[in-house]
Structure 1
Amino acid sequence: MSVKSGKLVIVGAGKVGNAVLDSVLRLSIIDEIVVINRNRDKALGAVLDASHTTAFEYSTNTSIRVGDYPDCADAQIIVVTAGPSIVKGEYDRSILLKRNIEVMNGVMANITRYTREAILIIISNPLDILTYYFQKKYNYPVDRIFGTGTLLDTARFNKMLGDLCGVDAKNVTGFVLGEHGETSFIPWNTVNIVGVPFQEIGEKFKPSVPIDKEKLLNETKVIGPEIVQLKGYTSAGVSLAACRLIGAIVRNERCVVPVSTVLRGQYGIDDVAMSMPCIIGSDGISRVIELTLDEEGRRDLEVCHAHLRELLESVGA
């Protein structure tokens, strides 16, 4: 069956699934949205609530309905949010590993029964482990399955550095790479603001306080759990990260963003999924960009790789 351009399937109607549904409607770029959830009443509630917004003049008349896995057959994009999320009192995404391996196994078995053409965006955590495990287990096309990864971490870092320097975060070019979790890292030699390299930012932009690299990286890592402690969950940031990818696919933007992908020899690694800058368009990932890392960045990459392999080996991958 041929792929229907503009058709999105959301698997999971929890807080994140609902946030993706609401956010993608505001983008006005999707023609048809199908929501799949084990509890169909919950999916129906989400669909009815969202569908009423299409009556307003600023909204497109997007088709929104409850569906099931056969609806994946002609989907262009499938966003997977199924499974439990980090909750208040938990700080380590790896706590979710065994729970979500089981949940995702059922999801992937059903998706691959109907399609290997759709582009799969994984939000469920720990997403680097899930992306690698299920790409390998189901032999899904490697360029068509990836996680939101450190895209949100990168947005958080750019916002923090932009605020310190008194500039719009969109003027900051800096990636958080590696794991979406405790071993993520920032290749500082590639960070710049409108071309001004990181080591000259203090002189050129006169930040409100001296820039502390370790503090910035740590704040990028802990802000998610802090939001969970305050709010009970996170949804806004990750849903917009997913929508950034959905928009790039639908519009064939060929934008460069960090997503979690199974590595195929980059930096000599081929046995994990982690976030790297990737060119994203209508065919998914067209290229993984291998940044030039300095010695510090190489060490950070090795630590991240070792940690991810340890987690994968714990589930026999």
Structure 2
Amino acid sequence: MKSGKLVIIGAGNVGSAILNSVLRLNVVNDIVVINRNQDKARGEVLDASHTTAFVYSANTSIRVGGYEECADAKIIIITSGANITQGNNGDRMVLLEQNVAILSEVMDNITKYTRDAIVILVSNPLDVLVYVAQTRFGYPREKIIGTGTLLDTARFNKMLGDICGVDAKNVTGYVLGEHGATAFIPWNTVNIVGIAFDDFEKQFGLTEKIDKDKILRDMKTVGFDILALKGHTSSGVALSACRLVTAIMRNEKCILPVSIVLDGQYGVTDVALSLPSVISENGIERVLELPLDEKGRMELDHCVSHLKSILRTLAAGKSNASGK
């Protein structure tokens, strides 16, 4: 177990799933939950605290607190905000104005106490919120991390692994760009233990050609399928956040696709999206540029254009609201 404090802001379905998942990892010794509804937070904390009595779980301190707890936090996970519902027609952007306002309030409170903690964002629309959190509050760029396409990549690797009959952990392939409609897969970089995607049919004895468009489409919609079936998503996004917590606390320097404000990668600036990044105890150490083919570059450009149009709309709305 590492010595360090984790603050979880929000005790809804995702926040509580993160709390319970991170306890199993034994990577932090102090967890604080912040939530507007303190009774809900107390209930989640009390329930989770009982699991520390089992042999597989360390005796982690878990409690409810206020934003002052952020002052010496190593990691802060922001889950607060409105969630996608079945009536959203598969568009995370419907949450834009409401969740930007909620995030702004949360970041105002965090920055009263720290700009040193690593902030992990999981709320939607993820990439826009990462951009707002980093650019509006003077927070160090490398310390604002969006879970981004980390979950999308896990879903993609699982789908492709199932098709080829191998463990998803043997698949090397990333979903990049937006955590949303314009996410894309750079197929020229996909491989399984070094076997190139174009050789999968021969090497794994596939009887049908892999339908790349279907995989991409299924990857984008499966979250909404889960929403329709169980009413919310929580397990996958919780483990995505926990994967980052582990990488940071153990200084892994692993490479994960996360959302960050770009500062020149592929010649792009002033937008947040997911690219493979080196994750360490300091946050994001380096953002890597995969060798995109022509199609991948076109898809990246489309993603950037889409996200920047949303940011322009957001900026225009802010100006109108302030009377400018």
- TM-score, normalised relative to structure 2: 0.95
Asked if 2 retains the 8 angstrom alpha-carbon contact of 1:259 and 1:275, the reply is yes
Distance 1:57 1:228 in 2: 34
**Residue 108 of structure 2 aligns with which residue?**
109
**Residue 54 of structure 2 aligns with which residue?**
56
Residue type matched to 1:59 in 2?
Answer: S
Once the two structures are TM-superposed, the CA of residue 139 in structure 1 deviates from its matched residue by: 1.3
SS at match of 2:136: helix
Counterparts in 2 of 1:234 and 1:100: CA distance versus 1, 3 Å: same
Once the two structures are TM-superposed, the CA of residue 5 in structure 1 deviates from its matched residue by: 4.4
**Residue 320 of structure 2 aligns with which residue?**
none
Asked if 2 retains the 8 angstrom alpha-carbon contact of 1:89 and 1:229, the reply is no
**Residue 27 of structure 1 aligns with which residue?**
25
Distance 1:165 1:60 in 2: 38
Asked if 2 retains the 8 angstrom alpha-carbon contact of 1:164 and 1:208, the reply is no
Larger deviation, residues 7-16 vs 51-60: 51-60
Asked if 1 retains the 8 angstrom alpha-carbon contact of 2:201 and 2:207, the reply is no
**Residue 93 of structure 1 aligns with which residue?**
92
- What number of residue pairs does the alignment pair up? 314
Counterparts in 2 of 1:208 and 1:17: CA distance versus 1, 3 Å: farther
Once the two structures are TM-superposed, the CA of residue 56 in structure 1 deviates from its matched residue by: 1.1
- TM-score, normalised relative to structure 1: 0.98
**Residue 273 of structure 2 aligns with which residue?**
274
**Residue 176 of structure 1 aligns with which residue?**
175
Identity %: 61
Once the two structures are TM-superposed, the CA of residue 208 in structure 1 deviates from its matched residue by: 5.6
Residue type matched to 2:112 in 1?
Answer: R
Any gaps of 5 or more consecutive residues in structure 2? 317-324
SS at match of 1:316: helix
Does residue 41 (structure 1) correspond to residue 53 (structure 2)? The answer is no
**Residue 74 of structure 2 aligns with which residue?**
76
**Residue 256 of structure 1 aligns with which residue?**
255
**Residue 295 of structure 2 aligns with which residue?**
296
The aligned runs of 1:88-237 (5 Å cut-off) are 88-90=86-88, 91-207=90-206, 209-237=208-236
Partner deviation per Cα, 1:171-213 (whole Å, 9 max, x = no partner): 0000000000000000011000000011111111123642011
Residue type matched to 1:146 in 2?
Answer: I
SS at match of 1:107: helix
Asked if 2 retains the 8 angstrom alpha-carbon contact of 1:116 and 1:140, the reply is yes
SS at match of 2:269: coil
Distance 2:295 2:61 in 1: 49
**Residue 14 of structure 2 aligns with which residue?**
16
Asked if 1 retains the 8 angstrom alpha-carbon contact of 2:133 and 2:144, the reply is no
Q: 2, 5, 8: which one pairs with 1:7?
A: 5
SS at match of 1:291: coil
SS at match of 1:152: helix
Partner deviation per Cα, 1:33-67 (whole Å, 9 max, x = no partner): 00000111111111000001111111100000000
Distance 1:241 1:258 in 2: 10
SS at match of 1:315: helix
Counterparts in 2 of 1:145 and 1:208: CA distance versus 1, 3 Å: farther
Distance 1:105 1:5 in 2: 29
**Structure 1 ranges of 4+ moved more than 3 A:** none
Asked if 2 retains the 8 angstrom alpha-carbon contact of 1:189 and 1:293, the reply is yes
SS at match of 2:188: helix
Distance 1:127 1:248 in 2: 20
Distance 1:187 1:107 in 2: 35
